[in-house]
Structure 1
Amino acid sequence: MPHVLDRWSRSFWRLAGRAVDLDGADSWLDAPVSATARVGGGWLDVEAAARGWTLDRGGPEAGLLPSMAALDGPGFDSAQLRPAIRDFYEHTAAWDMEVWSSWSPVVWPAGELVARLYARRVEQLALPMRPLDVAHGMDSQVTVVRDGAGEQVAAAWVRTLRSNGRHVFSGSYATRTLPRADRPSIHVTFPLESGNVQVFLRPSVTKDGGLRLESPCGGFGQDGAYVVVREGRDVAARVPLHETFHVYVDGRGVLRTDHELRVGRLSAVRLHYRLERAS
């Protein structure tokens, strides 16, 4: 039986969202969901069976994208990216990750409440609340998802805390072109029971060959964050969560990422990643 908080949450989004046709005009929001309240990595086998996917697990060179060129289009040329950045996205499993986190004091109490009541229980979107939570680093597993023709259509990236094995994020990564967009965005889906959270990130190349990914403010059907509920009638709502990733190579040749999550105009949490190719 669904947890009372989960039932309340889905009821809220059914009221706040709009009806969508995920098999028709709104198919750009069709994405994996979890069949159970505890998400972890269990959603992947269920979705693979339902969608006719095959899974390549544990490949040492598996990447979130088969090629960064999949994002090419007006205003974005992946050939301008630093080689290390391309390598990370195309061979993500070969990279180790260290993480640091810093929360806004204003937002931290609400974040801690959500983490305790929801994120840790469902093992999804469990952002580290304290710097020491990630002191021992994160482990990650990338599973390549292929269609019937053997082409990579997505990748599942599951990240856990090395100190206790607790799931932090479990997501599906792919490229998708929004209805009125002139080029693809990175499409990230975090499955939840009978729904999901989706983020569409618009890529750009910085002057020094870095990568910038943004989910900006905008209207329905544009880059940004969405909540989708697939229980009864399908509904979706755009939410005021905005993310920015800046992936770059520092002066010592180290690959790093600055990640900021904002609620409206308020900066909620900043994460910093140090990325190193495994020996």
Structure 2
Amino acid sequence: MTGPRSHRSAALLDPVSRAWWRTVGRRVDLEGEHAWLQAPTSSGSLVRDTWLAEEAERLGGHVSEGRADAGLVADLSELDGPGFTAGDLRPEVRDFYEHTAAWRMEVWTGWQPFFWPGGELVARLFGRRVGQLALPMRPLDVAHGMDSRVSVIADEHEVQLAAGWLRTLRSSGEYVFSGCYSHRRLPGADRPSVHVAFPLEQGNVQVFLRPEVGPDGSLVLESPAGAFGSDGCYVSVRHRGRAFAARAPVHERFHVYVDEEGVLRTDHHLSLWSARAVTLHYRLEPLVRPAASPGA
């Protein structure tokens, strides 16, 4: 049974969680040495899309809604460097990332039995309550699909600075993910990584994903284990004007590929330490765009 009282009780866990990450993390300087960890946060416990306007102001831009062809990355060639060339990707893969709003997704989810109880507990006490990182727990949760909205953060010349990717369950409208997508070069890295930040109250979860091109033109994005400052998952919290960050033992791998029938698909594996916890599979289809009217 859920309701306002149970939500208030669960909310008491939030400051405890932030205190834990302050304890296990390190003090960071977001304006200097650790500027690569600068990312949006939420001013309140309910996240959803509340962080967009504030992040646009921080970046000196504005939020642009309704772009039919908006993408998570304006141009994947911005990730080019030693070991990665966007031009080697299949056109469908590249089009999805550069024009994400023009694609529709269907998703299936499969939890490993050992991790399912913990995932369900986190979803109930945290994800659904705050409208963030609410991983689907059962196949029927996503039976009607997932809606996708891309909100571009652009500068005065309409150059894309970042993009908010907001995903909700089509059946209920509940938020599943609310992420800020951009690209960023980590300290000492030879090329940029995909940077995804999931805002939370007084903090965020950030994932740095290193891109690779598969032999079939597929895209692999991976956040492996490693040292502080390398690709991976980080939790950052703010407290009394100070910031703290720690690496989290969460590792992800995305494989975006075209199958033998010409359908674009994604396998998303999420692991804790070396144990796979959940797999999500996406089927991606281009939206049918209305034909241009005569004379247009």
TM-score by length of 1: 0.98
Tell me if 1:138 matches 2:146. yes
Per the alignment, residue 53 of structure 2 pairs with 45
Distance (whole Å) between structure 2 residues aligned to residue 177 and residue 153 of structure 1: 15
Tell me if 1:276 matches 2:259. no
Offset of 1:52 from its aligned partner?
2.3
**What is the SS of the residue equivalent to 1:182?**
coil
Report the structure number with the largest CA radius of gyration.
Answer: 2
Tell me if 1:235 matches 2:215. no
Offset of 1:212 from its aligned partner?
0.3
Distance (whole Å) between structure 2 residues aligned to residue 231 and residue 149 of structure 1: 35
Letter in 1 for 2:91: P
Per the alignment, residue 64 of structure 1 pairs with 72
Offset of 1:3 from its aligned partner?
2.8
**What is the SS of the residue equivalent to 1:144?**
strand
Residue 158 (structure 1) aligned to one of 157, 163, 166: 166
Offset of 1:147 from its aligned partner?
2.6
Per the alignment, residue 196 of structure 2 pairs with 188
Aligned pairs for 1:1-279 (under 5 A) are: 3-232=11-240, 233-279=242-288
Letter in 2 for 1:108: W
Distance (whole Å) between structure 2 residues aligned to residue 272 and residue 219 of structure 1: 29
**What is the SS of the residue equivalent to 2:23?**
helix
Distance (whole Å) between structure 1 residues aligned to residue 21 and residue 43 of structure 2: 18
Distance (whole Å) between structure 1 residues aligned to residue 66 and residue 154 of structure 2: 14
- RMSD between superposed Cα atoms in Å: 1.2
Offset of 1:49 from its aligned partner?
2.9
Distance (whole Å) between structure 2 residues aligned to residue 145 and residue 8 of structure 1: 32
Query: Could you tell me whether the CA contact under 8 Å between 2:68 and 2:101 is conserved in 1?
Result: yes
Letter in 1 for 2:208: F
Offset of 1:149 from its aligned partner?
4.3
Distance (whole Å) between structure 2 residues aligned to residue 224 and residue 11 of structure 1: 22
Distance (whole Å) between structure 2 residues aligned to residue 149 and residue 184 of structure 1: 23
Letter in 2 for 1:47: E
Distance (whole Å) between structure 2 residues aligned to residue 46 and residue 68 of structure 1: 26
Per the alignment, residue 291 of structure 2 pairs with none
Name the stretch that deviates more: 49-58 or 250-259: 49-58
Distance (whole Å) between structure 1 residues aligned to residue 78 and residue 59 of structure 2: 22
Distance (whole Å) between structure 2 residues aligned to residue 267 and residue 237 of structure 1: 21
Distance (whole Å) between structure 2 residues aligned to residue 150 and residue 170 of structure 1: 22
Letter in 2 for 1:262: S
Letter in 2 for 1:102: G
Runs of 4+ in 1 over 4 A off after TM superposition: none
Distance (whole Å) between structure 1 residues aligned to residue 53 and residue 221 of structure 2: 29
Q: Deviations over 1:92-116 (max 9, x none)?
A: 0000000000000000000000000
Offset of 1:130 from its aligned partner?
0.3
**What is the SS of the residue equivalent to 2:167?**
strand
Identity %: 60
Structure 2 unaligned spans of 5+: 1-7, 289-296
Task: Report how many residues are paired.
Answer: 279
Offset of 1:148 from its aligned partner?
4.0
Structure 1 unaligned spans of 5+: none
Distance (whole Å) between structure 1 residues aligned to residue 190 and residue 101 of structure 2: 30
Distance (whole Å) between structure 2 residues aligned to residue 80 and residue 50 of structure 1: 34
Letter in 2 for 1:267: R
Q: Deviations over 1:26-61 (max 9, x none)?
A: 000001111110001111122223442211112110
Per the alignment, residue 3 of structure 2 pairs with none
